[in-house]
Structure 1
Amino acid sequence: MSDFTVSIERLLTQVHHWEERRWSQPAGPVTRAQAVFALAQQLADLGAEAEKTPAREVPFVHAMVLPDQLRVLAADIMAAGPPPELLTRATTAVTETRSAL
């Protein structure tokens, strides 16, 4: 199991049960939902890079959907067979977001 897979699973374990009130609490200058949504966009961008496709915008549906979006985006990255350097960047992004929460 890659460091990226471990880091995303740890984050999902941390947030999957949160209700709206917890998502709306601060995480630095933004809310937790905003911080995780920014991570989702980073992962989408890294996934597009790994797939060698144009970047795509992640829609914000609702804070309660963010864990599912992260799970799908992480799976997309892993399915693309990314180089180690890209996985390191993805792991760093997840770790930094988790620390901010």
Structure 2
Amino acid sequence: MRAELARVLAVQADRVRATALSQLERTREGAPAPRAELVRRTAQALADLAAGAEGHPRRPLPALALHGLGDQLAVTGADVLAHGDDAALAAALRLVLELRRGL
């Protein structure tokens, strides 16, 4: 599970980094929100999972500029990878796969 999450997370973070900023601002047909918002929501959910795994309170992530979203996704995912149990890893994998469908 950990290896699969690491692989999927790396691919999606790179995909976000490579996406044109104008595309991040747009909503893909059938998606519930603009791509940037989907990335932000996923990063926040990953941060929440990591905080729970570490026994820390949840905190809102800073709203980064569009060009920083791929890194924010990578960092919050790395925190889950480092501290998450099997349940957290499974939840994180579902979140990242859902993001993939929204992008």
**What TM-score, normalized by structure 2, do the two folds share?**
0.89
Where does 1:1-101 land on structure 2 (aligned, <5 Å)? 2-27=3-28, 28-80=31-83, 82-101=84-103
Give me the whole-angstrom Cα distance separating, in 1, the residues matched to 2:32 and 2:93: 22
Could you tell me which runs of 5 or more consecutive residues in structure 1 were left unpaired when the two chains were aligned: none
Deviation track 1:16-52 (CA, whole Å, cap 9, x = no partner) reads: 1122211011041310000100001000100101111
Identity of aligned residues (%): 31
Give me the whole-angstrom Cα distance separating, in 1, the residues matched to 2:65 and 2:92: 23
State the 4+ residue runs in structure 1 displaced beyond 4 angstroms: none
**What TM-score, normalized by structure 1, do the two folds share?**
0.91
Could you tell me which runs of 5 or more consecutive residues in structure 2 were left unpaired when the two chains were aligned: none
User: How many equivalent residue pairs?
Assistant: 100
